[in-house]
């Protein structure tokens, strides 16, 4: 089955700096890669996703890049703000598996004011 | 509109007891999912249902069962709880169960098995 690895497990950045989280996946048939943000004590919420036919996608301060050849994808947060402090999860799924997501282990991001 | 609700919010359970975690959605989504969240392991899929009347096993199904009698409800049952089932459980739903559908999560149930 699919295996998703996520690094780093924790990330501390100064407010205004950028944060980058990287994920690798094992199943070359995976074609959908969402990112979820989970604030302390809250539920995970989708923040951005990318499909395998696209190399990069941006939404305001966040962007995701995908390298299908290397089987890795990354989340980039620019101009970080204290409200970006949360745990971020990457995930992967493939069309044949429907909407069954395999998640990475999560990255705890702390933005220091 | 409530979205997805889960009950109870938290529960402490003696090992060997039976427990049902409830999940209800009012978005008329076809697909529903149960995950457990453990520190450092992310979210792992326990069971899923693509439509009412059907269920399937996820990554970690042992010790759990589900049913999907109607569109709105997707209860998760632990027949005989063990301490390793201590975790935070999240229910989720998606509109069609298609690979690129967004999954919407409930607020979670924190379960402690002693």
> Is the confidence at residue B1, as pLDDT, over 70?
no
Q: State the smallest CA–CA distance between residue A98 and chain B in angstroms.
A: 4
Would you place residue B85 in the very low, low, confident or very high pLDDT band (cuts 50, 70, 90)? Answer: very high
Which residues of chain A fall short of a pLDDT of 70?
Answer: none
Would you place residue B41 in the very low, low, confident or very high pLDDT band (cuts 50, 70, 90)? Answer: confident
**Cβ atoms of A39 and A109 closer than 8 Å:** no
Pick the residue from chain B with its C-alpha nearest to A43. Answer: B107
Residue located via tokens 């069962």: B65
d(CA B24, CA B8): 12
Q: Which two tokens stand for residue B39?
A: 């520190």
Check CB contact of A95 with chain B, cutoff 8 Å: yes
Contacts of B87 in chain A (CB under 8 A): none
> Is the confidence at residue B90, as pLDDT, over 60?
yes
Chain A stretch 34-53, residues whose beta carbon is closer than 8 A to a beta carbon of chain B: 34, 42-46, 49, 51
> Is the confidence at residue B60, as pLDDT, over 60?
yes
Question: DSSP assignment, residue A97?
Answer: G
- For residue A76, what is the enclosing H or E element? strand A72-77
Count of helix runs (H) and strand runs (E) in chain B: 0, 11
Q: How many CA atoms lie within 13 Å of B113's alpha carbon, on the beta-carbon side?
A: 17
Predicted confidence at residue B42, as pLDDT, reads 87
Residue located via tokens 């997805």: B4
When scoring B9, B32, B33, B42 by the number of chain A Cβ atoms within 10 A, the one with the most, hence best to mutate, is: B42
Whole-number average pLDDT of chain B = 94
Determine the longest span between alpha carbons in chain B, in angstroms: 39
Would you place residue B76 in the very low, low, confident or very high pLDDT band (cuts 50, 70, 90)? Answer: very high
Q: Which two tokens stand for residue B83?
A: 């301490």
Predicted confidence at residue B7, as pLDDT, reads 97
Question: DSSP assignment, residue B89?
Answer: E
Pick the residue from chain A with its C-alpha nearest to B39. Answer: A105
**Cβ atoms of A29 and A71 closer than 8 Å:** no
Is the bond leading into A8 cis (omega within 30 degrees of zero)? Answer: yes
Check CB contact of A112 with chain B, cutoff 8 Å: no
**Cβ atoms of B20 and B77 closer than 8 Å:** yes
Pairing mode, strands B4-7 and B19-25: antiparallel
Q: State the smallest CA–CA distance between residue B101 and chain A in angstroms.
A: 7
Among A9, A99, A105, the residue with its CB nearest the CB of B103 is: A99
Contacts of B99 in chain A (CB under 8 A): 31-32, 93-95, 97-99
3-state secondary structure of B22: strand
Would you place residue B81 in the very low, low, confident or very high pLDDT band (cuts 50, 70, 90)? Answer: very high
């Amino acid at each position: 089955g699919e295996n998703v690895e996520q690094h780093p497990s924790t990330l501390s950045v100064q407010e205004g700096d950028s944060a980058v989280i990287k994920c690798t996946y094992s199943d070359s048939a995976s074609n959908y890669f969402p990112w979820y943000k989970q604030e302390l004590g809250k539920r995970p919420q989708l923040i951005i996703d990318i499909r395998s036919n696209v190399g990069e996608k941006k939404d305001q301060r966040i962007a995701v890049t995908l390298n299908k050849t290397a089987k890795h994808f990354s989340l980039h947060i620019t101009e970080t703000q204290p409200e970006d402090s949360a745990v971020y999860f990457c995930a992967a799924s493939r069309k044949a598996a429907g909407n069954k997501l395999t998640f990475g282990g999560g990255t705890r991001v702390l933005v220091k004011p | 509109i409530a979205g997805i609700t889960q009950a109870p919010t938290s529960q402490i359970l003696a090992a060997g007891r039976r427990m049902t975690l409830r999940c209800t959605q009012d978005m008329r989504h076809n697909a529903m999912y149960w995950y457990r969240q453990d520190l450092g392991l992310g979210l792992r899929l326990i069971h899923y249902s693509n439509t009412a009347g059907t269920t399937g096993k996820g990554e970690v199904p042992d010790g759990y069962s589900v049913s999907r009698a109607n569109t709105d409800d997707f209860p998760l049952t632990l027949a005989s709880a063990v301490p390793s089932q201590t975790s935070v459980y999240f229910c989720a739903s998606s509109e069609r169960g298609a690979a690129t559908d967004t999954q919407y999560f409930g607020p979670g149930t924190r379960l402690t098995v002693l």
